[in-house]
Amino acid sequence: MTNFEKISKRIDSYEKDMIELQGILTAIPALSPVNGGEGEVKKAEAIIEYLKGMNFSEILELNAPDESAPCGYRPNIIAIYKGKSSKKTIWIMTHMDIVPPGDLNMWETDPYKIEVKDGKIYGRGTEDNQQSLVSSIFGLKGFIDEGLLPEYDVGLVFVADEETGSQFGLGHILKEYKKFRPEDYILVPDSGNFDGSMIEVAEKSILWVQFTTKGKQCHASHPAKGINSFRAASHLVVKLDELYKIFPNINNLFAPPISTFEPTKKEGNVPNINTIPGKDIFCLDCRILPEYPLEDVIKTIKNMCNDIEKTFNVKIEMDFPNKEEAAPPTQADAPVVKAVSESIRSVYKVEPVPMGIGGGTVAALFRKAGFSAVCCSKHDELAHQPNEYCKIKNIIDEAKMFAHLMLQE
Ligand SMILES: [Zn+2]
């Protein structure tokens, strides 16, 4: 039997323990204070208790001060397990916090009490992000119980605050903890797909623009006495379509492979039909390929606004409710991508596909700090939904994938 086969068999035997740990974690609603909770402190205590029996060389608690949490901080845990060599570290980072269950009528079970049905564990957080959290622990436990060592050091990282901005989670860690190295492998198994083939390596920049067009209100029977802000805004919204031609690059790492510029929200202007609206507000959602600097896009939009202002004698103000420049992508041929691909191929028996996504993930914080990080997970994409579940088989498969990666030379 190869070492992987031994560990794999051992991981199969953990099914009951995995379900038990999912039950313990689900029963502690780790909601961030902005979502009306007390934070992750009790969940962190339960995880530390669990890790204590596992021979970690170091279990570091990195608390981020947060006055809005009853205990005054948000917990983060870094647990280091020594491998054969310390030349690099395989990091697996998962988050402890959950999102609220939402409308309880939509749930068929108690969101905070797991129920096991047809090979699935139901409960809030069971998939996002406890599936991978549990897998990371049991992937490593396979080595311990078989008396084997991972090829390199393994770092399990459990963070707070992923769902509400990461300021008290990974953001805090990157400020305080200086032991990540460029040659390390960093995995953030918090987004993925049903067969585990997707490896997320990049994201687009996000730009939300709110346009407030100001004209002059008057009676609709005498339009010349006013300035119709709605007409001007309508010409602007049509003009903004030109952005697709001005920023036309195709990048097949992404789906869709182009930058997108879509008018979305439209606020009401006047409540009655016989008034020329003096003020009009609409919004644009842009997802821009990382090769275009956001400032170039903003400048182009500004010029379009200037043209409309001149033509229609209006004033247009731009606000940016969301403006997030994409992190430099992790290269599709980076060592971490190659290694993870190899493990995905061997364990899941699918062909891995490195790809970019349209919205930000927490892995972007690593990339912005200069580290290569990838997101991948084998799950049914139930994050934030009612009746969230995770398949027991996926916990086991993912634990094996992590173990396979830890065995790679
Ligand atoms: Zn998540």
Is residue 261 within 8 A of residue 283, CB to CB? The reply is no
- Please identify which of the residues 40, 66, 97, 190 carries the catalytic annotation: 97
> Cα separation of 402 and 141, whole Å?
11
CATH of 210-323, one of 3.40.50.1700, 3.40.50.2300, 3.40.630.30, 3.30.70.360: 3.30.70.360
| Å from CA of 188 to ligand 1 middle | 9
| Å from CA of 97 to ligand 1 middle | 8
| Å from CA of 397 to ligand 1 middle | 19
Task: Spell out the residues 6+ positions from residue 9 whose beta carbon is closer than 8 angstroms to its own.
Answer: 1
Q: Is the pTM of this model over 0.85?
A: yes
Beta-strand relationship, 120-122 and 389-391: antiparallel
| Å from CA of 21 to ligand 1 middle | 18
| Å from CA of 208 to ligand 1 middle | 23
What residue segments make up the domains of the chain, in order of their start?
3-203+326-407, 210-323
| Å from CA of 129 to ligand 1 middle | 5
| Å from CA of 339 to ligand 1 middle | 23
Written as tens digits, the pLDDT of the chain (409 aa) is 999 999 999 999 999 999 999 999 999 999 999 999 999 999 999 999 999 999 899 999 999 999 999 999 999 999 999 999 999 999 999 999 999 999 999 999 999 999 999 999 999 999 999 999 999 999 999 999 999 999 999 999 999 999 988 999 999 999 999 999 999 999 999 989 999 999 999 999 999 999 999 999 999 999 999 999 999 999 999 999 999 999 999 999 898 999 999 999 999 999 999 999 999 999 999 999 999 999 999 999 999 999 999 999 999 999 998 898 998 889 888 999 999 999 999 999 999 999 998 877 889 999 999 999 999 999 999 989 999 999 999 999 999 999 999 999 9
Annotation marks residue 97 as catalytic: yes
DSSP notation for 197-245: -EEEEEE-EEEEEEEEEE-B-EETT-GGGSB-HHHHHHHHHHHGGGHHH
> Cα separation of 84 and 213, whole Å?
64
| Å from CA of 20 to ligand 1 middle | 21
> In the CATH scheme, what is the code of domain 3-203+326-407?
3.40.630.10
- Please identify which of the residues 66, 162, 280, 397 carries the catalytic annotation: 162
> Cα separation of 225 and 213, whole Å?
17
